[in-house]
Amino acid sequence: MTEQKIRIGIVGARAYTARELLLILARHPRAQVAVLQARVDDPVPPGDVFGVLRGMDLPDIVDVDFSHLPADLNAVFLCLPHTAAAEYAVPLMERGLRVIDLSADFRYGSLKTYESVYGVTHPAPELMAKAVYGLPEIRRASIIGAPLIANPGCYPTAVILSLAPLMKRDLVVPGTIIADCKSGVSGAGRTANDVTHFCGANESLKAYKVAEHRHESEIEEQVSRLAGETHTVTFVPHLVPMDRGEYATVYAKLKEPMTADNVRRMFASYYENEPFIRLMPGSALPDTKNVANTNFADIAVRVDERKQRLIVTTAIDNLVKGASGQAVQNFNISYGLPETMGLV
Ligand SMILES: NC(=O)c1ccc[n+]([C@@H]2O[C@H](COP(=O)([O-])OP(=O)(O)OC[C@H]3O[C@@H](n4cnc5c(N)ncnc54)[C@H](OP(=O)(O)O)[C@@H]3O)[C@@H](O)[C@H]2O)c1
Give tens-digit pLDDT for 249-279: 999 999 999 999 999 999 999 999 999 999 9
Nearest to 163 by CA among 330, 315, 314, 321: 314
Q: Are 42 and 108 in contact (CB under 8 A)?
A: no
pLDDT of 69-116, one tens digit each?
999 999 999 999 999 999 999 999 999 999 999 999 999 999 999 999
What the chain holds in terms of domains, given with CATH numbers, is 6-152+322-334 (3.40.50.720), 155-318 (3.30.360.10)
Quick one: which of 136, 77, 74 has its CA closest to 102? 77
Contacts of 134 (CB under 8 A, 6+ apart): 100, 143, 146, 149, 150, 151, 152, 326, 327, 330
Q: Spot the catalytic one: 79, 154, 181, 199.
A: 154
Distance of alpha carbon 38 from alpha carbon 50, whole angstroms: 14
Tell me what pLDDT residue 1 has. Answer: 65
Q: From the CA of 179, how far away is ligand 1's center (Å)?
A: 25
Q: Which of 277, 260, 258 is nearest to 138 (CA)?
A: 277
- State the chain's mean pLDDT as an integer: 97
Give distance in angstroms: CA of 17 to centre of ligand 1: 7
Q: What is the pLDDT of residue 191?
A: 94
| Ligand 1 shell residues, CB under 6 Å | 12, 14-17, 38-39, 64, 79-82, 84, 102-103, 153-154, 186-187, 189-191, 318-319, 322-323
Compute, in angstroms, the gap from residue 296 CA to the centroid of ligand 1.
Answer: 23
Mutation test residue for ligand 1: of 11, 42, 76, 79, the one with most atoms within 8 Å of CB? 79
The yes-or-no answer on residue 199 being catalytic is no
Classify the C-alpha dihedral 198-313-226-139 as positive or negative: positive
Give percent of the chain above pLDDT 70.
100
Which neighbouring-strand residues pair with 6?
A: 31
- For the chain, percent of residues with pLDDT exceeding 90: 99
Judged against a pLDDT cut of 80, whether residue 2 lies above it is answered with no
Cα separations in angstroms, 61 against 12, 79, 86: 9, 13, 21
The predicted-structure confidence for 17-74, as pLDDT tens digits, reads as follows: 999 999 999 999 999 999 999 999 999 999 999 999 999 999 999 999 999 899 999 9
Closest-CA residue, ligand 1 atom 1, reads: 187
- Say how many Å lie between the CA of residue 13 and the centre of ligand 1: 9
Return the DSSP state at 173: -
Q: Of all atoms in ligand 1, which is nearest to the CA of residue 318?
A: 3
Mean pLDDT in residue range 134-163: 98
More confident residue, 197 or 1: 197
Q: Band of the pLDDT at 3, cuts 50, 70, 90?
A: confident
